[in-house]
Structure 1
Amino acid sequence: MADDVLAEFEPFPDPALQEVADALLELDPTGARWAAIVRHTYDMIYNGQETGRFRWDQLMKTEKTHFGTLFEINAQREFEFDGGDATDFRIAGHQVDAKWSQSMGGWMLPPEVFGELALVATGDDAESRWSLGLVRVRQEYRREGGNRDKKSQLNAAGRSAVRWLWREAPLRPNVLLQLPRPTIDHIFGHRAGTQRTNRLFRAAEGMIVHRNAVATVSRQLDHQKRVRYNGGARSALKGEGIIILSGAFYPHLAEWLGVPIPQRDEYVSVRIVPTENGDGVPIGAGRWRRAQPGEASTVPAPRLPKVGSRDE
């Protein structure tokens, strides 16, 4: 009896699915490009610079529905897939329809996808994870019934038949979902975008801060200027012993100080204190290390060295 149950859930041989899987893995062996698509789609739908939003539950119902469309568009732009006849894409010569659901297994499958391959994806911004796989939308994999549009979902056998290319893979974190809610309320509680930015980097010491988080907090067109010297967060927090490192210019300092290394469009703030006996990281005329929790910052942080003609 147990063998019969297992056989019921065993996927059918599907050479076309394997060919599409191979093509996708060749295009993106590590999943980094798909992860960037998911991250970018979340940031697009939040539209933080204009709205100040950064959580899924802040979106309107129509916006949540639109996420799947943006995901499909961003995937096509990134990989330049050919268009399908009745489906979104043609990959390795096969029809493939892209489906996103914020919940695992919640993909809504229209009649035109029945019998075709579906590229199913899901994610959780709060948990910083995403998944993407392939499944043939067979009759035996679909739930009975459906909604007024004749759409249906995968049943248990269908969900078990998904060929996962990436499952619970890491998503670049949204720092505004990682900080405690009272801290977030404090950050957004100031009327001035410059002060909100200062509060963000003060509170997120040692954490990766994406440029979109800065835009969401500052709500200003020139949001990156709010980070720099000459009136930005670097100047304001210098007296507290805090430096702000960009991944474009200072990833080596982040590595030496033992904090997460930011990518080119990310920052990490670090509270530092001077060292003695030649230890620590050389910055400016002195040597420095990351301050311990609760350790007082007795002197201002040094100005970061210019890289080329700029200090970013």
Structure 2
Amino acid sequence: MTSLFDSRPLPDHALEEVAAEIRRLDPDGSRWADVFRHTYDMIYNGAETGRYHWSQLMKTEKTHFGTLFEINAQRAFKFKGGDTTDYRIAGHQVDAKWSQNDGGWMLPPEVFDEIALVATASDCEAKFSLGLVRAKSEYRRIGANRDMKSGLNAAGRAAVVWLWRDAPMPANILLQLPEHVVEHIFDSRYGTQRVNRLFRATEGRLVHRNTVRTVARQLDDQKRVRKNGGARSALKPEGIIILSSYHAHIAQRLGVPVPDSKHYIAVRVSPGSETDPIIGGAHWRRATPDEVAHIAPDLPEPGVREE
């Protein structure tokens, strides 16, 4: 029992129940990570615009990010709509609040005294944070903007219960490459050539399908990757194979990150020994940077294992 002289806040059972339900729906945060990645990719609209960086967005688009995030989260987790808030989770009213700047969430009057689901992320660092806070009056900054929205004060920011803090989300590889490399990738009129450059520059690293679409300026990433006229054919003489989720077992044996259904990975290979994986009827291993290129093998068809 809390005494009159105990300054600790009383437990917020509703907030605890909301937190438990969110954790139940996504124990490791991977589904939320995908929501953030998908929202960034939607707002960039790379297949049509070629954009991949927050700084390339217009102000109105940046403002729209929060709305897209709210919609994508509801679609991903099937949250019910609230009466005056975005969601109802575990039977409680919850409002989604996004800010590109950590701690910069703006709370409208209808959220006061309700639970806010606060979110922020850095695409450059491939990290996201998601937490819960009760929008109490003592947690709100004095003063409001013309929409009567107010932010959290220092006490409010300290009261956020973080479900995930700086957790990893699928990376935008274009933001992790040196600037001159990215400029070279885009410095071609032809989408096929741009995609070839992308995979050369990212050998051994996961590449999101949407990045391929952004570089190709085309929705069909598989067309730009497949062996008949795509990057697999173009890079074969250079000893480079491009693996998808169908080839996860090969990636694992080669000792590179394993692609899932949303990623590819390019790997430069050389003839190997009996301890190396079989690809195209022969043993292959990952090549060292200084090795002479060998013509890469053809990958097995989906569902076929050669060993």
TM-score normalised by length of structure 2 = 0.94
* Structure-1 separation of matches of 2:157 and 2:62: 22
Q: How does 1:159-178 map to 2 (within 5 A)?
A: 159-178=157-176
Q: Quick check: 2:210–2:221 contact (8 Å CA) kept in 1?
A: no
For the Cα contact (< 8 Å) 1:9–1:157, is it kept in 2? no
Percent of aligned positions with the same letter in both sequences? 65
The answer on 1:300 being equivalent to 2:273 is no
- The equivalent of 1:45 in structure 2 is 43
Following superposition, the deviation at residue 10 of structure 1 comes to 5.4
The separation in 2 between residues aligned to 1:124 and 1:16, in whole angstroms, is: 29
Deviation at 1:284, TM superposition (A): 1.4
Deviation (angstroms), 1:74: 0.7
Structure 1 equivalent of residue 131 of structure 2: 133
2-structure distance, mates of 1:37, 1:253: 28
| Aligned-pair CA distance for 1:146 | 1.8
Question: Could you say if the C-alpha distance between residues 11 and 301 of structure 1 is closer, same or farther in structure 2, counting changes exceeding 3 Å?
Answer: farther
For 1:21-68, what per-residue CA distance to the aligned partner results, in whole angstroms no more than 9, with x for missing partners?
Answer: 111111111112111111111111111100100111111111111010
Where 2:184 maps in the other structure, the secondary structure is helix
- Determine which of 241, 256, 278 is the counterpart of 1:259: 256
Q: Secondary structure at the match of 2:149?
A: coil
Q: Please report how far the alpha carbon of residue 82 of structure 1 lies from its aligned counterpart in structure 2 after TM superposition.
A: 1.4
Please list every run of at least 4 consecutive aligned residues from structure 1 whose deviation after the TM superposition is greater than 6 angstroms: none
Superposed CA deviations along residues 93-127 of structure 1, whole A, max 9, x for unmatched, are 11110001111101011111111110001111110
Aligned-residue Cα RMSD (Å) equals 1.6
Gapped runs of 5+ residues in structure 2?
none
SS at match of 1:205: coil
- How many residues are treated as equivalent by the alignment? 300
Helix, strand or coil: the match of 2:73?
A: helix
Structure 1 counterpart of 2:284: 288
Following the alignment from structure 1 to structure 2, what is the Cα–Cα distance between the partners of residues 260 and 69?
33
Residues 54 and 12 from structure 1, CA distance in 2 versus in 1: closer, same or farther, beyond 3 angstroms? farther
Q: Give SS of 1:83's match.
A: coil
Q: Distance in 2 between matches of 1:133 and 1:18?
A: 11
Question: Hey, what does 1:206 align to over in structure 2?
Answer: 204
Residues 208-248 of structure 1 show CA distances to partners (whole Å, capped at 9, x for unaligned) of 0111000000012433211001110000000000000001x
How many Å separate the matches in 1 of 2:7 and 2:54?
Answer: 33
What secondary structure, in the 3-state scheme, does the structure 2 residue paired with 1:82 have? coil
Contact residue 11 and residue 161 of structure 1 kept, 8 A: no
Question: 2:202 and 2:290 mapped to 1: Cα distance?
Answer: 15
